[in-house]
Amino acid sequence: MRVSSLQAIFLSALSAAASALTWSGGAAAGQAPSAAEPEETRSPAGTPTVEAPVRAGVIAGIGFPRPLAVEGMAVISRTVALGAEYGILPAVTIDGVNTSLWSLSGDLRVFPFRGAFFLGLRAGRQHVGATTTLAIGSFGSAAEVLGLDSWFLNPRAGFLWTTREGLSFGVEAGVQVPIGAAISSTLPLALYPTAQRTIDALGRTVLPTVDLLRVGLLL
């Protein structure tokens, strides 16, 4: 009798469990949205929202070799971003040579997972300027002004996060590859090779590029 009672209780528990699973599965199936219906996105207030297919705005960054950069950008369907950037290195003194830099470039970013991670390619024109004063024996001194103009490619990878409200911030790193260069000087370059080495380091050398922080607004 005791064994039969235990068997009955065990069978009853199994039956109840099976009934509960059957009921919950049916309820879940009845509540599941149709595969043909798009998932609805709602705002915190509970009203449906639709994300704009194109978001455009301005992003500013700090990094190397251009400490300051400003970029106008348009992001299309969270997949591709197109931009135009102006970068600048304010006048600084390197090895006794007053040096400055500016660049203009176009930019392409691809977001393969439609998230923050992107692969990018920047291409543009860069100008490096250098000014120094030379002592020319009994002739006194003379100012030498050098300029180096080159095209460059800058493949890179990074992250760019954008909130629903449009606040954007990110980081990125890559390599800048110069393509062709033209140098000009008001005096023979041999008179002051340090000036030429300075502009060559910025305009003719493969350089790492790092953006420590980019902050902007995309609406």
User: Cα dist. 75→78, 85, 118, 135 in Å?
Assistant: 6, 15, 12, 53
pLDDT of 146: 86
pLDDT of 38: 40
Residue type, 122: R
Q: How many residues does the chain have?
A: 219
- pTM for the structure as a whole: 0.72
Distance separating alpha carbons of residues 151 and 58, to the nearest angstrom? 24
Query: What pLDDT, in 10s, does the model give residues 131-168?
Result: 887 666 666 677 778 889 999 999 999 999 999 999 99
pLDDT of 194: 74
3-state secondary structure of 2: helix
pLDDT of 185: 80
pLDDT of 212: 95
85 Cβ contact list (under 8 Å, min separation 6): 69, 70, 71, 72, 103, 104, 105, 106, 107, 122, 124
Neighbour-count burial for 198-213, b at 16+ CB within 10 Å, e otherwise: bbbebbbeebebbbee
pLDDT of 60: 97
Q: Cα dihedral sign for 181, 184, 188, 189?
A: negative
pLDDT of 35: 40
CATH architecture of 54-218: Beta Barrel (2.40)
Low-confidence ranges of the chain (pLDDT < 50): 1-14, 16-17, 20-41
Note whether 145 and 128 are within 8 A (CB).
no
pLDDT of 137: 62
- Domain boundaries defined on the chain: 54-218
pLDDT of 200: 86
